[in-house]
Structure 1
Amino acid sequence: MPRFALKVEYDGAPFAGWQAQADQPSVQGAIETALARLDPGFAAGARIAAAGRTDAGVHATGQVAHADLARDWDPFRLAEALNWHLKPAPVAILAAARVDDDFHARFSARERRYTFRLVARRAPLTHGRGQVWQVLNPLDAALMRAGAAHLVGHHDFTTFRSSICQAKSPVKSIDEITIEESPVPHGCEYRFHLRARSFLHNQVRSIVGTLERVGAGSWAPERVRDALAARDRAACGPVCPPQGLYLTGVGYPSDPFRDGPTGR
Structure 2
Amino acid sequence: MPRYALQIEYHGAPFAGWQRQAEQPSVQAAVEAALRRLEPDAPGIAAAGRTDAGVHATAQVAQCDLARDWDPFRLSEALNHHLRPLPVAILQAARVADDFHARFSAIERRYLFRLVSRRAPVTHDAGLVWQVRHPLALAPMQEAASHLLGLHDFTTFRSTLCQAASPVKTLDELTITEHPVPQGTEFRFHLRARSFLHNQVRSFVGSLERVGAGSWPPDRLRAALEARDRAACGPVSPPQGLYLCGVGYPEDPFAAAPQGGDDPVSAALRSDP
TM-score, scaled to structure 2: 0.94
Conservation of the 8 A alpha-carbon contact between 1:95 and 1:263 = no
Shift of the alpha carbon at 1:40?
3.5
Conservation of the 8 A alpha-carbon contact between 2:93 and 2:254 = yes
Are 1:74 and 2:71 counterparts?
yes
Q: Quick one: distance in 2 between partners of 1:138 and 1:22?
A: 41
Aligned residue among 182, 190, 193 for 1:193: 190
In structure 1, the residue corresponding to 2:188 is in which secondary structure? strand
Q: For each residue in 1:81-140, what CA deviation from the matched residue of structure 2 results, as whole angstroms up to 9, or x when unmatched?
A: 000000000000000000000000000000000000000000111110000000001211
Match of 1:145 in 2: 142
How many residues of Structure 1 are paired with residues of Structure 2 in the alignment?
A: 261
Aligned residue among 40, 44, 55 for 1:47: 44
Q: Quick one: distance in 2 between partners of 1:179 and 1:36?
A: 41
Match of 1:4 in 2: 4
Q: Quick one: distance in 2 between partners of 1:66 and 1:110?
A: 16
Q: Quick one: distance in 2 between partners of 1:182 and 1:4?
A: 37
Q: Quick one: distance in 2 between partners of 1:23 and 1:158?
A: 32
Shift of the alpha carbon at 1:259?
1.5
Match of 2:29 in 1: 29
Q: Quick one: distance in 2 between partners of 1:14 and 1:233?
A: 29
In structure 1, the residue corresponding to 2:221 is in which secondary structure? helix
Conservation of the 8 A alpha-carbon contact between 2:174 and 2:189 = yes
What is the CA RMSD across the aligned residues, in angstroms? 1.1
Shift of the alpha carbon at 1:260?
4.0
Conservation of the 8 A alpha-carbon contact between 1:75 and 1:262 = no
Instruction: Rate the CA distance shift 1:49–1:263 in 2: closer, same or farther, 3 A.
Output: farther
For structure 2, list consecutive stretches of 5 or more residues without a partner in the other structure.
Answer: 262-273
Match of 1:136 in 2: 133
In structure 1, the residue corresponding to 2:70 is in which secondary structure? coil
Are 1:212 and 2:209 counterparts?
yes
Percent of residue pairs bearing the same amino acid type: 74
Shift of the alpha carbon at 1:22?
1.5
Aligned residue among 217, 239, 242 for 1:242: 239
Letter in 2 for 1:7: Q
Letter in 1 for 2:213: A
Shift of the alpha carbon at 1:261?
5.3
In structure 2, the residue corresponding to 1:29 is in which secondary structure? helix
Q: For each residue in 1:140-183, what CA deviation from the matched residue of structure 2 results, as whole angstroms up to 9, or x when unmatched?
A: 11100000000000000000000000000000000000101010
Conservation of the 8 A alpha-carbon contact between 2:94 and 2:257 = no
TM-score, scaled to structure 1: 0.97
In structure 1, the residue corresponding to 2:9 is in which secondary structure? strand
For structure 1, list consecutive stretches of 5 or more residues without a partner in the other structure.
Answer: none
In structure 2, the residue corresponding to 1:114 is in which secondary structure? strand
Shift of the alpha carbon at 1:41?
3.8
Runs of 4+ in 1 over 2 A off after TM superposition: 260-264
Conservation of the 8 A alpha-carbon contact between 1:147 and 1:214 = yes
Conservation of the 8 A alpha-carbon contact between 1:98 and 1:263 = no
Q: Quick one: distance in 2 between partners of 1:183 and 1:234?
A: 34
Conservation of the 8 A alpha-carbon contact between 2:93 and 2:257 = no
Letter in 1 for 2:251: S
Match of 2:94 in 1: 97
Q: Quick one: distance in 2 between partners of 1:250 and 1:52?
A: 9
Are 1:63 and 2:66 counterparts?
no
